[in-house]
């Protein structure tokens, strides 16, 4: 089962309720919640939540070791198999759309690029910035560069790393036919109205402050990690970094986090909406209480559903 949707849409609470009612194991599908050092700022499930139902792939990687969709897919499939072995329902919960599509549709088998190529990509990114590295990429791998926004530093660096480490462009690797996961999926997409989502973001930020998010980010920055690492761009880290350097007040930093998070939720909603529209013929809509969904899913365990929009 997949529980998907924008940040602060209530995915974790819903997944926990389903896990308790259906005997499930919740498997993280959020790119930032896998990092060990960032529990509060990424809104990972609390220790009480983790005690209420089994959780997997939360806080399993040090921030110095960047995760990616290929790593996550293999780890998620292993956790799904383990849950099934123990008679539990795998419940994948998160807002990283690319992870879900990688899981369900498969991913190209790109070889390990090597530390030398990875280090070169990071150096060039730091030296020339994402736009400069994108321009260099366009000269050697035009097909991949055309797919990427020049400002998307993470993906531009990854594309350079793949070209440098394998001798082939990322687009060429991705053109190969991937192997879908040998599972059938039921999925719930949470898509609350924008005003409710903004209110939920504000409430989440208040809770983060009470939980010590400023101190968490202070300790994280003290590790002196490479600024190009994905975890360094987790929502809240750059904004609180400016506050901790004395460049902005705490209220201004919090306002900036809220604005950036709201912008991100729009991009998430757009991605999921396009995904749902592309699979419209396989989409089922449920507009009643979650209890009705539970009964529905029990009657249709063998059916592949695309995305189910739950309202109410």
pLDDT of 275 above 80: no
Please give, one letter per residue, the 3-state secondary structure of 78-111.
Answer: HHHHHHHHCCCEEEEEECCHHHHHHHHHCCCCCC
pLDDT score of 276: 61
CA 298 – CA 310 distance, rounded (Å)? 16
Rounded to an integer, what is the distance from CA 216 to the centroid of its chain? 20
Mean pLDDT of 223-245: 94
**pLDDT band, residue 290 (cuts 50/70/90):** very low
Which of the 8 DSSP states describes residue 287?
Answer: -
pLDDT of 83 above 90: yes
183 or 290: whose pLDDT is higher?
183
298 or 190: whose pLDDT is higher?
190
Q: Whole-prediction pTM value?
A: 0.76
The answer on 187 and 170 residing in a single domain is no
pLDDT of 19 above 60: yes
Stretch among 34-38, 83-87, 119-123, 260-264 having the lowest mean pLDDT: 119-123
The answer on 269 and 195 residing in a single domain is yes
pLDDT 10s digits, 176-212: 767 778 888 888 888 889 899 999 999 999 999 999 9
Burial class, 77, CB count within 10 angstroms (exposed 0-12 / middle 13-18 / buried 19+)? middle
Mean pLDDT of 42-46: 96
pLDDT score of 177: 67
The answer on 252 and 211 residing in a single domain is yes
Q: What is the CATH number of the domain that holds 126?
A: 1.10.20.140
pLDDT score of 292: 33
Burial class, 229, CB count within 10 angstroms (exposed 0-12 / middle 13-18 / buried 19+)? middle
The answer on 95 and 16 residing in a single domain is yes
The answer on 289 and 255 residing in a single domain is yes
**Number of structural domains in the chain:** 2
pLDDT 10s digits, 109-158: 777 888 899 889 989 998 999 999 999 999 999 999 999 999 888 889 99
User: Which of helix, strand or coil describes residue 81?
Assistant: helix
The answer on 238 and 94 residing in a single domain is yes
The answer on 147 and 97 residing in a single domain is no
The answer on 126 and 89 residing in a single domain is no
Choose the final residue of a domain: 129, 154, 174: 174
Q: What residue numbers bound the domain in which 190 lies?
A: 2-107+179-309
């Amino acid at each position: 089962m997949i529980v998907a949707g924008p940040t602060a849409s209530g995915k974790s609470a819903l997944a926990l309720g389903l896990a308790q009612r259906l005997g499930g194991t919740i498997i993280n599908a959020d790119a930032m919640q896998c990092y060990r050092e960032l529990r509060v700022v990424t809104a990972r499930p609390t220790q009480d939540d983790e005690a209420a139902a089994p959780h997997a792939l939360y806080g399993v990687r040090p921030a110095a070791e960047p995760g990616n969709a290929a790593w996550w897919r293999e780890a998620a499939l292993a956790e799904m198999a383990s849950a099934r072995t123990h008679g539990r329902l795998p419940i994948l919960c998160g807002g990283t759309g690319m992870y879900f599509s990688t899981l369900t549709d498969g991913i190209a088998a790109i070889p390990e690029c090597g530390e030398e190529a990875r280090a070169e990509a990071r150096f060039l990114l730091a030296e020339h910035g994402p736009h400069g590295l994108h321009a260099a990429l366009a000269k050697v791998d035009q097909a991949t560069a055309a797919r990427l926004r020049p400002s998307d530093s993470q993906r531009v660096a990854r594309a350079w790393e793949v070209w440098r480490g394998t001798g082939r462009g990322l687009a060429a690797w991705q053109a190969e036919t991937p192997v879908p996961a040998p599972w059938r999926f039921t999925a719930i997409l949470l898509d609350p109205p924008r005003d409710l989502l903004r209110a939920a973001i504000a409430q989440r930020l208040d809770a983060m402050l009470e939980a010590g998010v400023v101190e968490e980010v202070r300790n994280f920055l003290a590790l002196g990690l490479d600024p190009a690492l994905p975890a360094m761009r987790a929502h809240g880290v750059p904004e609180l970094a400016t506050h901790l350097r004395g460049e902005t007040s705490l209220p201004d930093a919090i306002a900036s986090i809220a604005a950036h998070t709201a912008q991100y939720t729009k991009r998430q909603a757009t991605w999921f909406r396009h995904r749902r529209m592309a699979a419209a013929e396989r989409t089922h809509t449920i507009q009643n209480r979650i209890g009705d969904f539970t009964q529905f899913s029990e009657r249709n365990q063998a059916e592949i559903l695309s995305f189910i929009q739950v309202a109410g």
